[in-house]
Amino acid sequence: MLSNFLHGNSNGTVTPHSMHQSPDASDSEMAADKATTSAPKQSNPPPRRKRIVVAMTGATGALMGIKILIALRRLNIETHLIISKWAEATIKYETDYHPSNVKALADHTYNINDMAAPVSSGSFKTDGMIIVPCSMKTLAAIHSGFCDDLISRTADVMLKERRKLVLVARETPLSEIHLRNMLEVTRAGAIIFPPVPAYYIRPSSVEDLVDQSVGRVLDLFDLETGDFERWEGWKKE
């Protein structure tokens, strides 16, 4: 009898295998619902702030870089600042700011020789870079791909990752070498932005001209400063 129960026989005696019944469809659905309910819900990460790298070189025009940092701070843009040694000297010579005050305007600052900084990697997501002012030395380094400091390396990253790179080039007159370098980096995807003054705004100060250039630079990133007058046609007296 026990043997028949364990092994079954040809008379249809029930075996342990024949006693096991597959769960019906409703049981399967309940198990699936339970698994779905108990599984942890994946929440979407909060959207990050727009992130822009700002670099300042030793060319004249330090006030433009400072004004861009102030504007980006007001617009709640996350800024990553790189200042060269000669940019620090120019800041002290041309403005009432100290380099430490300028660095305090940014969310993050890096030493120009820190080639391991986050901005040196293409895996670090940014929305672009502004070099303001941009010296002809830095322009030449970007054109040749000679990344011997963090500014030129980060600019190189912007080009290879197809991100926006704006060079506020400060030099006049321009030699054929300067023009060739500008042409080549433009072909590679950069934007050359000479801070050409707009006299139609009838500026009453140098700061009016600087604000206009800063506003036009940030236009390239779809950012509105509201600090300058836009052209709206001839004004009737």
- Between helices 62-74 and 85-94, what is the axis angle to 10°? 90
Q: State yes or no: 137 annotated in a binding site.
A: yes
Do the annotations mark residue 200 as ligand-binding?
A: yes
- What was the pLDDT predicted at 30? 56
pLDDT in tens, the chain (237 residues): 444 444 444 444 444 444 444 445 555 555 555 555 555 566 777 788 899 999 999 999 999 999 999 999 999 999 999 999 999 999 999 999 999 999 999 999 999 999 999 999 999 999 999 999 999 999 999 999 999 999 999 999 999 999 999 999 999 999 999 999 999 999 999 999 999 999 999 999 999 999 999 999 999 999 999 988 899 898 876
Domain definitions of the chain by residue range: 51-219
Which residues on neighbouring strands pair with residue 79, listed in sequence order?
52
CATH superfamily, domain at 51-219: Flavin prenyltransferase-like (3.40.50.1950)
Contact 189, 159 (CB under 8 A): yes
Instruction: Quickly count: other Cβ atoms within 10 Å of residue 169's Cβ.
Output: 25
Q: Is 158 annotated as a binding residue?
A: no
Residue that has been written with the tokens 């870089």 in this structure: 65
* pLDDT score, position 86: 97
- 226 among annotated binding-site residues: no
84 is in an annotated binding site: yes
pLDDT of residue 24: 55
Task: Check whether 58 is labelled as a binding-site residue.
Answer: yes
Please report the pLDDT score of residue 145 as a whole number: 96
pLDDT reported for residue 2: 42
Please tell me whether the overall predicted TM-score, pTM, comes out greater than 0.95 for this model.
Answer: no
User: Is there a binding annotation on residue 138?
Assistant: yes
Q: Which is nearest to 215 in space by CA: 21, 68, 59?
A: 68
Residue 93, annotated as binding a ligand: no
Annotated ligand binding at 60? The verdict is: yes
